[in-house]
Chain A
Amino acid sequence: MQFDTVFLVLPGLSLDESAGSLTSFALRADLGSKLEALVLPDQGDARYKGLDQVTVLESQALGPANPDGAAQAVADYIKEQSDALVLFDDTRFSQQIAVRLAAIMGVPAVTHVIDLSKKASILTVHKKVYSGSLIQGYRCNVPAVFTVDLTAVPPAERDEAIPVIHKEATVDDNDAQFTLSDQNQGPDLSTARLVVAGGRGLQDKDGAALVNSLAEQLNGAVGASRAAVDAGWFATSTMVGQSGKTVAPDLYLAAGISGTIQHTVGMDKSKCVVAINTDAEAPIFDLADYGLVADARQALTELIEKTAAPGSAEESN
């Protein structure tokens, strides 16, 4: 059993910059089929090199508040293809659609896949389990739905020659409302090249403020461990780890973070990790490139001082 087309569903293009990586992931998996991108309306340009076609599913009722509608639209579109493989990224909205799609189609689903290979008609995927401490493999036939962990997968090149088709979709609307979260100053955590992250070692809200100051000064994003968020020092949206975001910046500066696996699974693909902690035995040092055994607040204060632009007044921070 061969399958003709692999569908990449990219529902949140303008909501998630990593969507282009899904194309390069699919290309790397060498599936030997057509690759077609399915896109929701007003979600940006999905023309990536390697795709055979981009199809925009058109309906007023399609949007981030309506995952049921999106799943139905995708299911209706691909129902002609009896052996479809459908790939999604693993951002929340995509996950919502993917699991609903798999349920509608009555097919197996594996989420947060880190690799995919195909032999004849058998697909093999792997994912991290037990908070990222072990790897679980699965095997199944098509049809199937996978969501993919695209951390550190580079995006495919753009290609304006890819044909774009618009297809009317009949979708039930719902009454839910989507609101974009307040845009913070500075780069978005998910895609920032530099992240300053704080944990319990910050001691209190004043310590947290140091993280914010340094991030702003270095033009980086703010991250936090679960403990620091639970303590009320940082917003939930800054959480990095199992229950928060997965990031892979060029530099991840972990201040006062012990490095439990629930946290490190969300940042272990960072290119360079700097860890600052008073405990020399803290597990964060196991995956750090550079380590400093010191009080996080003192080190942050010193870093702010020493990385300030020359001539800037101290009180500007």
Chain B
Amino acid sequence: MKVLVLVKGVVDPGPQPSLSEGRLTSGDVVLDHYGKYALEAGLQLAQDQDDQGSVTAASVGPDSETALRDALALGAQDAIEVKTDQENAGLADILAQAVNKEGPFDLVLCGDQATDDSQGVLPAQLAAALGWPLVDAVDALGFVGPRLCYTSLLDKGAVKGTVQLPAVVSVLDTINKPRLPSFRLKMAAKRYQIKEFQAESSQKDPLEKLEMEEVPASSKEVIMVDSVDDLIRALDQVGIRLKKE
């Protein structure tokens, strides 16, 4: 089976992000956190298929190359950089073009969001653009015979079902424990000739991104106590009664 994993290059701003005119000025580009889990899920599914399984990583955007080389270092067999000549273009349509032209793929995997925008909107848009079913919030994924079974985690319970391939599956970052890159694959990834796919420019994104702002600093001044007794007393004084009468 051929699996496509969507990955994203994002800036890791570090513990003290700094902004200038609404744009990040601190941090290095990394493979997005959530994409690592999608990639691990894809690698595990492909491995289970022995020699018949392969994982291709695809990415769009100015920081794609870093994400793709990291994905190769983790074990993806191929990498595609999707290029678009229009900034702010409809990503789902562009990615759907790539999936269709570079396929056929049985499965498209992605993380359920990305750290730079926590949106989680793309999987549904992509599934709609492809006309494929979508399964999301996935915490467990595996084949039982020919059927792909999933468990989606909701706030108060879980949904179990099967999905017909080809499908788009979006996974949570609790689904697995991503492997670490190997030195050998890292070296090979540096030399890999990343494939380019030029997408036809799509419609402009109707959502306009504004400048980023800092989160207002906490105005709290912590009161340090020296003992549990002092803590219980301090809380009691503000009406929080821990000790039962």
Contact = CB atoms under 8 A, between A and B. Distances in A.
Given A100-B124, A261-B15, A292-B231, A285 B157 contact: no
Interface stretch (A32-40, A44-52, A152-160, A172-180): A172-180
B46 to A, nearest CB: 25
Contacts of B172: 243
B229 A127 contact: no
A129 interface: yes
Contacts, number: 214
Given A65-B159, A92-B137, A110-B119, A306 B243 contact: yes
A289 B222 contact: yes
A218 interface: yes
A65 to B, nearest CB: 5
Contacts of A128: 118, 215
A288 B222 contact: yes
Contact of A290 (B152, B161, B214, B231): B231
A56 to B, nearest CB: 20
Nearest to B123: A99
Nearest to A290: B223
A310 B210 CA distance: 57
B34 to A, nearest CB: 9
Given A16-B156, A285-B222, A137 B214 contact: no
Given A99-B120, A178-B154, A309-B244, A287 B13 contact: no
Main secondary structure of the interface of A (DSSP, over half): mixed
B208 A286 contact: no
A299 B186 CA distance: 46
A261 B17 CA distance: 12
A176 B160 contact: yes
Given A109-B121, A243-B172, A285-B222, A130 B231 contact: no
Contacts of B125: 99, 102-103
B159 A178 contact: yes
Q: How large is the interface on A (under 10, 10 to 19, 20 to 34, 35 or more residues)?
A: 35 or more
22 contacts: A65-B161, A68-B134, A91-B155, A99-B121, A102-B121, A134-B17, A136-B212, A177-B159, A178-B159, A180-B156, A273-B220, A283-B15, A288-B220, A289-B223, A290-B223, A291-B224, A292-B224, A292-B227, A292-B230, A302-B228, A303-B231, A306-B243
Interface of B: 13, 15, 17, 19, 24, 92, 113, 115-121, 123-125, 127-128, 133-134, 136-137, 139, 152-162, 172-174, 177, 205-215, 218, 220, 222-232, 234-235, 238, 240, 242-245
Given A134-B214, A268-B218, 4 more contacts: A110-B207, A129-B116, A291-B224, A292-B226
Q: Which 3 pairs of residues, A with B, have the shortest CB-CB distance? A: A176-B161, A137-B210, A99-B124
